[in-house]
Amino acid sequence: MSSELTLLHFHRNLRLHDNAALHIAAGLDCPTVGAFVFPPDCNPRQRVFLRQTLAELRGELAALGIPLHVFTGDAADALNGLLARYPFAAFVSPLPVRRTAGERLPAVYRVDEGLPVLSVQPDGLPPDFAAYRTAWLQQARQAGILPPPDAATWQARQTRLPAECRNVPPLPDAQAVPLAAQGGEAAARRLWAGFLPRLSDYPLHGGFPAKKGVSQLSAHFCFGTLSVREVCRDIRAGGQDGAAWLDGLARRAYCRRALPFSDGLLELTMKEGRAALHWLQPPKMIRETDGSGGEALIRWQEGRTGVPIIDAAMRALNGGGSLHPALRRLCADFLTGRLNISAAHGEACFAAWLTDYEYAVNHHNWQQVDRLNNPFAESLNLDPDGRFIRRHLPELAHLPASALHAPHLAGSDVETNGYPPPCVQV
């Protein structure tokens, strides 16, 4: 068997277009084997989203002649299985990988999917977000994109791939759960094409959960089914600024930089005469929480706090794995500031339910929680006509807006169909 093979590791870059790792593998001009390992803390909705995404990606790569091996379990162990079976000359990965000295080891090519925003601090961490955002937006306005993969060239190259490398296991099963976001690059590109003409309306409508003011692309950016560089190119081409909307992408990038190695740090070394990967730093994962949250935590999770905007938000999250950014902050502030429950419980809940869950982003956001002054006032600001509340709390849908936001104040003659009073004084 030829030893001139490339192992192409997919992680948060599950797409064909503007894929730097795929571009590097093409430049190496060796037959290529693709691999993906489900994240260790992948929740049920993410498994469904990823299975949809990987089914599409596997088909697109197969058209180029590239087999995609998909695994569950420990990523180092899974990749070591391939390294042991096939003598690879190169390893291309979006994860940080350190290579020990050794001529017999595969060459390592680390691909950073982020925009090249340089740190200004000696410890290697990014500066405060305001400074990082300014630098990130500057790079976003200049970012170019890579050409699409050349199918004919890839197909010719892959004819040299040994037949046994093409035998890929079936995709892991995923439990059927309600999912607000469909996986795959095609779905991401459809969402982006629909949102781009509305981008200029984002500063006006983006803060209202009931309006179609957000892109609904968060899960896609989490797993890289859509290129940040490509959306920045499209915004420039349309003559738009887009800074208000791009703020969310800059913040995701900032969280990743502020928690380096949150997805792990690998080392490639020789072990028992063969190349092997092991974790220098394993991926960060949510710690198990104790039972200190009690009944109030359960009511918050199930959307039964008696505060309609909080309950509508949590039921929306339960129902599809997606939640408007403003409502994430509101629910977090209510949990910690009003129910006096540790942020660790909320962090674990969001990790279990959000399709776009990513440790670095989720952890950073839960460190920013603040005291919520008046949830009913916030309700009027975020959902003034009550459309969002009515959508997710059908038992209150008949109420006029004057009673909808705080039905416990509307009087005993108002029918609330069993909706509870607030579980805490607010």
Please give the annotated binding residues for FAD, written as ranges: 202, 245
* CB distance 95 to 40 below 8 Å: no
Per DSSP, 115 falls in state -
Residues annotated within the binding site are 202, 245
DSSP per position, 235-248: HHHTT---HHHHHH
| Nearest-10 Cα torsion for 126, 131, 132, 136 | -150
Q: List, in sequence order, every residue forming a beta bridge with 109; answer none if it has no partner.
A: 92
HSE at residue 183, side-chain half, CA atoms within 13 A, is 25
d(CA 107, CA 100): 10
What are the E-state strand segments in 164-318? Answer: 265-271, 274-281
Contacts of 218 (CB under 8 A, 6+ apart): 181, 248, 322, 355, 356
3-class secondary structure, 66? coil
Question: Quick one: tokens of 385?
Answer: 């006509």
Angle at 395 between CA 423 and CA 357, to 5 degrees: 65
d(CA 422, CA 425): 7
Q: Reading across the β-sheet that carries 88-93, which strands appear in turn? A: 68-71, 32-37, 5-10, 88-93, 107-110
d(CA 324, CA 316): 9
d(CA 320, CA 317): 6
Q: Reading across the β-sheet that carries 265-271, which strands appear in turn? A: 97-99, 265-271, 274-281
* CB distance 184 to 227 below 8 Å: no
d(CA 354, CA 44): 9
Pairing status of strand 88-93 against strand 107-110? parallel
Phi, psi angles (nearest 5°) of residue 139: -65, -40
- In Å, the largest CA–CA distance within the chain is 81
